[in-house]
C-alpha cells in the first residue's frame, strides 16, 4: 500500500464529507457516497443545499463521482467515513450512523484496505466499536488484513475563512506505516500541514476536547452574564474592559448549539462514566448552556410584562434558526428551546431565516418560516443568530417591524446596547 495506489471513497456527504470529497476530487479519483438519493441527485447537478460548497467548486472537482450505489465502491481501497454522531434524548452517544457505515464498509472491505474515520467520537470508539464490526462483516483481521485511521473533522460550518485546506489536520493510524500513509494523504489537500498523533485514541481525545473546552468557556460567560444582570451592569462592557488585557479569552454569551459544541462533551462524559469517573466541570458547563434557552425566554417575557404587553397571543418574530451565523445548519440549534417555551406561553410566532431550508424547518417546528418580514406587526423580536443580512438591515428597519410598544432582544450583540431593549 502506497500513496499513489489509494482509491478513495468518502462515506457521507454532509458538512464534513462533501468539502473533503471536493478537495480530494481535484487531485485524485474520488467516489462520494451517500444514502440520500435526493442529495446525490442535487450534487450531480452541482447543488449543495448546505451552502458550504459552490457550484463552481463542485464543477472544478473533475475526478469526483457521486453515487448512492454501494457497488460503485468496490474499486475503493481507502474509505473515509464522515457521518454524523449525535446524542440521544438521554444525552448518550448515538452511534447508529457510525455503526451502519461500518457495516456497509465491512461488506466490501478487501485485504490491504484502509478505513479512516472522521466522525467525532469518544476516545477508544474507533477500535472498540467500529473495528469489531469491520472484522465481523468482512471476515478479515484488523492490522493484519486491513487497517484503520482516525483524522477528526475540523469543519466550521459557515466559515469561509477557515476551510479544510487551511486548518491543520490531526492524523493517526493503526500502525506506524499506515499512520505515515494517512498523514501523507491528507497533506495532499491541507496546505498548512498536519499533526500526526501517536495513536488513534489520542486523536479521538484531541478532537472531543476541542469543543468541550469551547463549551466550558461559553458556559462561564453565560453564567457571568446572568450574574451581571443581577448586579445591574452590562455584560458587553465588562467583557470589553477585561479584554483590554492581552491574554483574556474573547468569548461571548449566547445559545450553544450545533453538531459539535452542544454534543461532544456528552461523548467525553459518557466515556468517563464508563470508567466509573463522574465528571463535574464538564457536566456543569453543559447544564448551564442547556438551560440558556429557558433563561432567555424568562427574561424576554418579563420585559413584555414590564412594557404592558400581554404575553398570551403576543406576536413574536424569531430571527435566525440555524445554530450559528451565516450557516444553513439547523442541527441542535439553541433556538429550539426558545421556540418551544414561547409556544407554551401561547405566543404567536413567525420564524425567519434567509439561510435555512424551509422544508427542514417545517419538519422540525411543524411550521414554515416566513418569506418576507412584516412591518408594524410584532410585539417583540428575538435576534438569535447574527446573520450578515440582519446586520445590514440596521436597527431602524428592525423597529419598523415592531408595533409602537415592543421589545427587541439582541442575543448576539448585532447592534449597540443602547439601540435594543435586552442583551444577554
Rounded to whole angstroms, the Cα distance separating 124 from 155 reads 22
Q: How confident is the model at residue 302 (pLDDT cuts 50, 70, 90)?
A: very high
Rounded to whole angstroms, the Cα distance separating 311 from 308 reads 9
Q: How confident is the model at residue 178 (pLDDT cuts 50, 70, 90)?
A: very high
Element (H, E) at 28: none
Q: Which residues are catalytic?
A: 260
Q: Is 105 helix (H, G, I), strand (E, B) or coil?
A: helix
Centroid of chain to Cα 205: 18
Determine the average pLDDT of the residues in 355-365: 93
Looking only at the bridges linking them, the beta strands covering 8-11 and 348-352 are unpaired
Rounded to whole angstroms, the Cα distance separating 382 from 65 reads 43
Determine the average pLDDT of the residues in 332-359: 94
Contact indicator for 380, 409 with CB cutoff of 8 Å: yes
Determine the average pLDDT of the residues in 299-318: 96
Query: Over the chain, what is the mean pLDDT?
Result: 94
Contact indicator for 371, 351 with CB cutoff of 8 Å: no
Contacts of 114 (CB under 8 A, 6+ apart): 1, 6, 77, 78, 79, 146, 147, 148, 149, 173, 178, 181, 182
Judged on CB neighbours under 10 Å (0-12, 13-18, 19+), 172 is buried
Burial per residue of 339-349, b for 16 or more beta-carbon CB atoms within 10 angstroms, e otherwise: bebbeeeebeb
Rounded to whole angstroms, the Cα distance separating 411 from 146 reads 50
Is residue 129 left, alpha or beta, with left meaning phi > 0 and alpha meaning psi from -120 to 50? alpha
Rounded to whole angstroms, the Cα distance separating 286 from 261 reads 9
- CA within 13 Å, CB half, 412: 23
Domain covering 224-423, topology: Rossmann fold (3.40.50)
pLDDT at 75: 94
Q: How many residues does the chain have?
A: 424
Per residue in 125-161, pLDDT (tens digit) is 999 999 999 999 999 999 999 999 999 998 877 777 8
Quick count: other Cβ atoms within 10 Å of Cβ 368?
11
Q: How confident is the model at residue 421 (pLDDT cuts 50, 70, 90)?
A: confident
pLDDT at 424: 78
Residue 4: pLDDT above 90? no
Contacts of 120 (CB under 8 A, 6+ apart): 85, 152, 153, 207, 208, 211, 260, 263, 264, 267
Residue 85: pLDDT above 90? yes
Q: How far is CA 18 from CA 33, 83, 153, 255, 424, in A?
A: 10, 11, 12, 27, 35
Determine the average pLDDT of the residues in 103-121: 97
Whether 3-205 and 224-423 share one fold: the answer is yes
Per residue in 255-294, pLDDT (tens digit) is 987 778 889 999 999 999 999 999 999 999 999 999 999 9
Instruction: List the chain domain ranges.
Output: 3-205, 224-423
Q: How far is CA 123 from CA 119, 148, 204, 266, 393, in A?
A: 12, 15, 5, 12, 45
Rounded to whole angstroms, the Cα distance separating 294 from 232 reads 20
In sign, the C-alpha dihedral spanning 298, 355, 219, 245 is negative
pLDDT at 193: 94
In sign, the C-alpha dihedral spanning 118, 88, 37, 42 is negative
Per residue in 154-165, pLDDT (tens digit) is 887 777 788 899
Q: How far is CA 289 from CA 74, 178, 240, 284, 294, in A?
A: 45, 40, 22, 9, 10
Element (H, E) at 383: strand 378-383
Per residue in 234-247, pLDDT (tens digit) is 999 999 999 999 99
Reported CATH class of domain 3-205: alpha beta
Q: Is 422 helix (H, G, I), strand (E, B) or coil?
A: strand
Per residue in 13-62, pLDDT (tens digit) is 999 999 999 999 999 999 999 999 999 999 999 999 888 899 999 999 99
pLDDT at 257: 79
pLDDT at 98: 98
Amino acid at each position: 500500500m502506497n500513496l499513489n495506489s489509494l482509491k478513495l471513497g468518502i462515506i457521507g456527504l454532509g458538512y464534513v464529507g462533501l468539502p473533503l470529497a471536493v478537495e480530494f476530487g481535484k487531485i485524485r479519483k474520488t467516489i462520494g457516497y451517500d444514502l440520500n438519493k435526493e442529495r446525490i441527485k442535487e450534487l450531480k447537478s452541482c447543488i449543495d443545499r448546505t451552502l458550504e460548497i459552490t457550484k463552481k467548486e463542485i464543477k472544478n472537482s473533475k475526478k469526483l463521482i457521486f453515487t448512492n450505489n454501494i457497488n460503485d465502491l468496490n474499486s475503493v481501497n481507502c474509505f473515509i467515513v464522515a457521518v454524523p454522531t449525535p446524542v440521544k434524548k438521554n444525552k448518550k452517544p448515538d452511534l447508529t450512523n457510525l455503526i451502519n457505515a461500518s457495516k456497509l464498509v465491512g461488506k466490501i472491505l478487501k485485504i490491504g484496505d484502509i478505513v479512516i474515520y472522521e466522525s467525532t467520537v469518544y476516545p477508544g470508539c474507533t477500535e472498540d466499536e467500529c473495528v469489531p464490526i469491520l472484522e465481523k462483516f468482512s471476515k478479515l483481521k484488523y492490522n493484519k488484513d486491513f487497517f484503520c485511521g482516525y483524522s477528526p473533522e475540523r469543519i466550521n460550518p459557515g466559515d469561509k475563512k477557515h476551510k479544510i485546506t487551511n486548518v491543520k489536520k490531526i492524523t493517526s493510524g493503526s500502525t506506524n506505516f499506515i499512520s505515515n500513509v494517512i498523514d501523507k494523504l491528507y497533506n495532499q489537500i491541507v496546505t498548512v500541514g498536519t499533526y500526526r498523533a501517536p495513536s488513534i485514541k489520542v486523536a479521538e481525545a484531541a478532537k472531543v476536547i476541542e469543543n468541550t473546552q469551547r463549551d466550558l468557556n461559553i458556559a462561564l460567560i453565560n453564567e457571568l452574564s446572568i450574574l451581571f444582570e443581577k448586579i445591574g451592569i452590562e455584560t458587553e462592557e465588562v467583557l470589553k474592559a477585561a479584554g483590554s488585557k492581552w491574554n483574556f479569552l474573547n468569548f461571548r454569551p449566547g445559545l450553544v448549539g450545533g453538531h459539535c459544541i452542544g454534543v461532544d462533551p456528552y461523548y467525553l462524559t459518557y466515556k468517563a462514566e464508563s470508567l466509573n469517573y463522574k465528571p463535574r466541570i464538564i457536566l456543569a458547563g453543559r447544564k448551564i448552556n442547556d438551560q440558556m434557552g429557558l433563561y432567555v425566554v424568562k427574561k424576554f417575557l418579563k420585559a413584555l410584562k414590564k412594557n404592558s404587553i400581554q404575553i398570551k397571543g403576543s406576536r413574536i418574530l424569531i430571527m435566525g434558526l440555524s445554530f450559528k451565523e451565516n450557516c444553513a445548519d439547523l442541527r441542535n440549534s439553541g433556538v429550539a428551546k426558545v421556540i418551544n417555551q414561547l409556544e407554551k406561553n401561547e405566543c404567536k410566532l413567525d420564524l425567519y431565516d434567509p439561510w435555512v431550508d424551509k422544508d427542514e424547518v417545517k419538519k422540525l417546528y411543524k411550521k414554515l418560516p416566513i418569506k418576507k418580514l412584516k412591518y408594524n406587526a410584532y410585539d417583540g423580536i428575538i435576534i438569535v443568530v447574527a446573520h450578515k443580512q440582519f446586520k445590514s438591515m440596521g436597527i431602524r428597519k428592525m423597529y419598523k417591524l415592531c408595533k409602537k410598544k415592543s421589545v427587541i432582544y439582541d442575543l448576539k450583540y448585532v447592534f449597540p446596547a443602547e439601540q435594543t431593549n435586552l442583551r444577554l
